[in-house]
Every structure is written in structure tokens, then in C-alpha cells.
Amino acid sequence: MAAMPDPSQWHEPARDVPVMGRPDVLVVGAGSAGIAAALAGARRGAETWLIEASSFVGGLATLGLINLLLTMDDGNGHQVVAGLCQEFVDRLEARGEARFPPPEQWNAEDPDAVDRWRRWGLIWGAPPEAVRYSVAFDPEAFIDVAYETLAGAGVRLRLHTWCAGALVSDGAVQAVMVESKSGRQAIVPSVVIDGTGDGDVLKAAGASMEQVTVPPYLWFRAGGVDEEMLAAAPPGLWFRTTGRGRVLVPWGPAPDRVDPCDPDDLTRAQLACREAARASFDGLRRDVPAFAHAWIDDYARMLGITESRRLQGDYVLEKGDGDVRFPDSVARTGHWTRRHVVYDIPYRCLTTSALGNVLAAGRCISTTRYVHQATKEIPAAMATGEAAGAAAVHALGSQGRVHAVDVDSLRKDLSGSGVVVGGPDHGGGAPGAGI
């Protein structure tokens, strides 16, 4: 007698899937890290593809309305994130869509300077507060800059395409399975970079991950705010933006935690956060005269998830590593709430011995929860993305084997592109001098 099928399972028959292409480098996820990774790969001459589930690029930095680059310095007046992140700042500034303190103000504790930049959302952390090199930017301009630079570099961008799996054999990802309106397709890359934030490729490929639940946020923007009245009022939990009469409200956290990889949880949170954010806006309109005639311009299209899955890779960067200058460091970051805390990010935080041709970039790199507070920030995400994109190209000379990369020459390559790579021989530049 044939065994009864398990009613809780459906057997999907095996099938052949069309191969979409065989790029040198496939970047999955076009958040700030994925954009930087794709640019770094393509500008070094690799055929580079960038796959994104949504209809925009930028991830939390644009769809999530997290429109603050915190931070590009070490809290001691030295710039520690440069490279592509600095290029984006320059391009945003040229459009009039970025605001940041000039170098001579970095590290200043002068109350007037602190008050000025606090109103832009650029001052955080415990007293004594100081001005940092952080940047407020417009999300639509960030998207435009991303499209312009990706096209200029020759990246093949495919939006509306979701990574749904990874096929692994011989310790490497042989194919990344994607789903879109065109159905299921396979991409067969030499090297894969996981820029999904949630580590979807790494997880699907069986890498060891740590996952947490978090309280979500839903930032929103209000228009029609009276700027003169706002300037005369004490600072509140809203930030100036590059648009006149428009403020950014960092609503959250919601009272209930969510599993950021559970769509039912996310859906519940999306609805509840929207209702609560609307109520908070109604309160502002009622209680703060500058908001009396304001309206909601937009809610974040992406729920504010500070943390989901993190790779537990070849090295897990931890709290005590703040003072360690790693010889294989490929990026450096400060800490947005703690001055004088600087982490070098070793190449081993982007790799896992479980997978020979995969690199992590952005908020899913290999760190503890504590260090993630620093490495998840947009400048650091762009820095690890840039490092991953460059490393992928270096790996092409060894059939895509990321562990065969000569890290010294990778560091030289990145340094030559204006990246602060960190490490014992790269202590950062003079105060206010860039790198």
C-alpha cells in the first residue's frame, strides 16, 4: 500500500530552469551596501549584475527613509569612511541635496554648533556632545546618484527580482535562483555578494547565521512645516531636510518585537506602525504650532529593521576589537553614539569557510550584536560593500575563490581608490583632511 502523503507538505516536482546569465559578479540586494559592491566590481572591469527585489535601489537608506549618514568620522576629528560613500556625498552636495558640518567643526563641543546640527539629526550619543562628520541627504537624490553611477560603471541592474534560493555543491554557490514576473530563473555567477541585509543568499546556501527579533520603526516625512517657527522652538524628535518646509520624523520603536524574516510578522507590524505613526503626526499637528498646517509627505516604504540575520563567518568582530588594528582590515568605521571608538573590519568578516565564492556586505556581515551597532550604519555598509565588490574581482583570478584573495593587494587596490582600509599602517588622516 502506498504511503499517505503528509498533508502539511506539498511535493514540488523537479524542473529545468532557464539560465539568465553567467556574470563574473552577482550582487544580490541593491541597498547602500549592494550599490557600493556593484560599483566596485564593475569599475574594476568585471561583468557585474545587481538584483533587487523592490522597485527602487537604496534599501533602508531610501525606501526606509533613513536619510542620515552616521557617521564618517572617528569622533576625534578624523574621517574614517571615504571611498564610494564620500563620492556619493560629493555628488549629492553638487545637487544641493546634502548637508553636513564643515571639517573645521568636526569634534566641536560648542553648544551653538551642536544645536545647529542636532536639528539635522546629526548629533547622537551621551554628553559631552560633539559635532561629527555625518551627512543628511535627500533619498530621491540618492537614488538618482545610484542610477547615474551604476549606469556609468556598466552594471546590469534588474529590479523586481527576488533571490529565492542558492544551489550549493563542492562548497560553492553554483547558481542563485531568482523569481520575478518572468518566472523562476537561474543565475550562474563566479562570485556572489550577499547585500540583502537579511543574509538571504548566505542563509539559503547553508551558512551559519545568528538571527534576532527587533522592535521596528517607521520613519516618515512631513511637508508644509513652518520653518521659521520651528527654528525658534526648542529641538524635538524631528529633523530638518534639504526640502524647505519638510521634516523627517524618526518614528519608533514600536512596542512589539518582530521576527524580521517572517512576512506575517512584518505585515502586522507594517499596519500597526503606520497607524501609530499617523497618531504621532496628529499629535505634532495639535501640539506643535509649526506643524499646524503640515501634512504627511510619505511613510517609509520599508519597515525600519535595525537588525535581522548576521553571518557567523571566518571572524566575528566583537566589542573588544575596538582597539585592534587588523592586518587584513579592508574597511574602518567609527561609532555614531560613541566618540573615539573605531573598528577595523577584517576581510574575514565578509567570508565564511562554508562557502568558497560568497562574500557578505552591509548589515549582514560577521559581527556580534554589539559591534553591529556600528557596522550596520550606511557609511560602514557602503565601505564593506565596496570592499566586497573589489575582493570579488580579485577572486576572479582564482576561479572565484574568495579565500585565495591576496589581501595585501586588495588593501592596496582599495587604498588607491580613496578607501580608508584601516589596519596597523593606516591610522587615518589629519583632522578634517579627508582620508
Ligand X SMILES: Cc1cc2nc3c(=O)[nH]c(=O)nc-3n(C[C@H](O)[C@H](O)[C@H](O)COP(=O)(O)OP(=O)(O)OC[C@H]3O[C@@H](n4cnc5c(N)ncnc54)[C@H](O)[C@@H]3O)c2cc1C
Is residue 54 close enough to count as binding ligand X by CB under 6 A? yes
Is residue 138 close enough to count as binding ligand X by CB under 6 A? no
Confirm if 264 and 272 have CB atoms less than 8 A apart: no
Is residue 334 close enough to count as binding ligand X by CB under 6 A? no
Stretch that binds ligand X, among 58-66, 101-109, 388-396, 407-415 (CB under 6 A): 58-66
Closer of 11 and 72 to ligand X (Cβ)? 72
Confirm if 154 and 97 have CB atoms less than 8 A apart: no
- Count Cβ atoms below 10 Å from residue 10 Cβ, excluding itself: 7
Closer of 28 and 168 to ligand X (Cβ)? 28
Is residue 69 close enough to count as binding ligand X by CB under 6 A? yes
Residues from 394 through 413 that contact ligand X (CB under 6 A) = none
CA distance 234 to 89: 29
Residue at 330: amino acid letter:
V
Stretch that binds ligand X, among 7-15, 138-146, 147-155, 374-382 (CB under 6 A): 374-382
How far apart are CB 219 and ligand X at their closest, in Å? 6
Binder among 25, 28, 84, 294 for ligand X (CB under 6 A): 28
Sheet bearing 172-180, strands edge to edge:
19-21, 183-187, 172-180, 162-169
Closer of 379 and 428 to ligand X (Cβ)? 379
CA distance 390 to 411: 9
Confirm if 191 and 209 have CB atoms less than 8 A apart: no
* Site size for ligand X (CB under 6 A): 38
Closer of 107 and 196 to ligand X (Cβ)? 196
Site string for ligand X, 74-113 (x = CB under 6 A): ----------------------------------------
Is residue 277 close enough to count as binding ligand X by CB under 6 A? no
Is residue 147 close enough to count as binding ligand X by CB under 6 A? no
Closer of 28 and 402 to ligand X (Cβ)? 28
CA distance 276 to 280: 6
Is residue 270 close enough to count as binding ligand X by CB under 6 A? no
* DSSP secondary structure, 51-95, as one string: E-SSSSSBGGGTTT---EE--SB-SSS-B---HHHHHHHHHHHHT
Phi first, then psi: give them for residue 393, nearest 5 degrees: -70, -40
Which residues lie below 8 Å from residue 174, measured CB to CB, with a gap of 6+?
167, 168, 188
Closer of 160 and 412 to ligand X (Cβ)? 160
Binder among 25, 40, 60, 395 for ligand X (CB under 6 A): 60
Which residues lie below 8 Å from residue 127, measured CB to CB, with a gap of 6+?
none
How far apart are CB 18 and ligand X at their closest, in Å? 18
Grid cell digits, residue 96: 544641493
How far apart are CB 244 and ligand X at their closest, in Å? 22
Binder among 290, 350, 378, 402 for ligand X (CB under 6 A): 378
Residue at 352: amino acid letter:
T
Confirm if 207 and 313 have CB atoms less than 8 A apart: yes
Residues from 191 through 210 that contact ligand X (CB under 6 A) = 195-198, 200
Confirm if 401 and 395 have CB atoms less than 8 A apart: yes
Closer of 34 and 389 to ligand X (Cβ)? 34
Closer of 339 and 376 to ligand X (Cβ)? 376
Confirm if 360 and 313 have CB atoms less than 8 A apart: yes
Is residue 240 close enough to count as binding ligand X by CB under 6 A? no
Binder among 155, 163, 166, 273 for ligand X (CB under 6 A): 163
DSSP three-state, residue 347: helix
Binder among 217, 239, 281, 343 for ligand X (CB under 6 A): 217
Binder among 203, 285, 376, 394 for ligand X (CB under 6 A): 376
Confirm if 245 and 227 have CB atoms less than 8 A apart: yes
Is residue 372 close enough to count as binding ligand X by CB under 6 A? no
Confirm if 48 and 25 have CB atoms less than 8 A apart: yes
CA distance 318 to 136: 29
- Which residues of this chain interact with ligand X, rule CB under 6 A? 28-34, 51-54, 59-61, 64, 66, 68-70, 162-163, 195-198, 200, 217, 252, 304-306, 362-363, 376-379, 381
